[in-house]
Structure 1
Amino acid sequence: MFTDMKEALEAEALELTPTSSDQSAAASLVVAHKARDKDDLADLLGALGLPCGEDDLVRLLPHLTIPTGDPMPVNAFTATAVSMLNNGDSPEHVRETLGLSESELADALQHAGLPVSDADTEDSTSVPETAASAPASTTDADQIEALLAWAEKHSAATIRNRAARVRSDLTEPTERRASDAAQSAAEDRIAKARAELEAAQAELRQVKAGGRITTEDPATTSWAPVQGPGGKRSSEELAAIRTWARANGHQVADRGNPAKTVLDAYDAAQRTTALAEAS
């Protein structure tokens, strides 16, 4: 408080340095991060003497915080970046696609639970293992879809274009995941069918070589291994045992007798098969 009128007039006559456009933009961005909605944003900008026209509001709307149900609120860019990171995109690709600053990329990495390093914000070309392996929850997927739907209907063309690019980026990994799952399921079915076929072929060889399967009474059904001279197993049966063992996760040599544990497991499997067929 000035006590001297002369000093007060001199201070009032001082020229104020006008705020640069970069300073105004930075200040507006900070305000957008704190605003609750569009009306609140307009009121805050106006109170601070910052540009608050319709174009200014449209540019700043994606920076408003979005309630996500967890302690860390995010804006539209951060939420979209988290989705892309969880789907395996590299931090550098996410930053270039969304036009994020280094601080915004760091926020996205932190929200996704990924380590933040200099390589992530400068020149990262590798995908962190956790990003490739961490599946998005159903809730996260719903929020991302809602965000993209909102962005696709936005009045600003830049927001609509970004939403289209993000959806395009998400399409390929989504289709790849479905394809990999279908391939894995098919391979499991083939492995099971191959094991059953090999077991049936082994049983057929045993029957042809003199093995006996009784089916008169399931409770007393027994399976007898084919014995060669001196009580040894025949070469045909040994070959069948090796095939069965490999199909069921046992390690056996190409020649010689398999280990007793493998022989016992094979015999038990054949008895189980015989009981099942008899019943």
Structure 2
Amino acid sequence: MLTDWQQALEAEGLPLSATSTEQEAAAARTLARRATSKEDLVLLLDAVGLPGDDDTLIALLPLLNSPEGAPDMKQTPTASPNAFEATALSMHYADHPMAEITSATGLSEDEITALVDAQQRKAGAGETDDTTLAGPAADPAVDDSVQQLLAWAEKHPTAGIRNKAARVRADVAELTARRAAEDAQREAEERVAKLTAELEKAKEALRAAKAGAPTAAATAASTPIRPGNGNGRTREELAAIRTWARANGHKVADAGMIRKVVLEAYDAAHQAPAAKVG
């Protein structure tokens, strides 16, 4: 008992903060949703000390639970749910944050939760209002990058959106790893193909060498160079040419260059017998 009195005394000593304009507006909207007529709304506002001027009443009349409005307004029944509630439902089904819904509609979180529950009960009974089936009038332009969008989704108060963000990140990570693996595999295959081609070329050269087929370099080296001035002939060949030339009436010096005519005559004389033998 003593503890209860102490708590009560402490509570009386707490300072009371002044009501803000936003709080007064929210309270006025709550009263308007409970009022059944304009006069009822005026009495409720006066009872709690909230302003009831014409501008305030004009803004609150669409929230009344009764079709009664201003005297000069056309008396048409209001839709159920009203415009604010329909907007709240639409934003909720579009996965907007709760804070954004409350700021746009003026409804409290408890009211939005109750509204969603009631709408789900109607949907289960087949009584869903047409106003809740339509999505937002226009989606805002999304300029955020994928990473920024995922970061927003990961911090979202709705568990379903956070789960979606986690799945998207997992899928992106899987695709990134798969692309890296496929790129590495493609590079390895290209390298293997190049090395295989070089190996086949080396095998062909090895088979040719084993079969004794002369290579281009060997063929060029084995071809004798027999220019007409005697270059490329050995000393013994030149001595034999001089001996043959003297025996066949050609004049040649004991040393030095041998004339081209003598060399051609010597080559012709020695090629003719070889041709006859062949």
**TM-score normalised by structure 2 residue count:** 0.34
Choose 1 or 2 for highest CA Rg: 2
Higher relative contact order (CA 8 A, sep 6+): 1
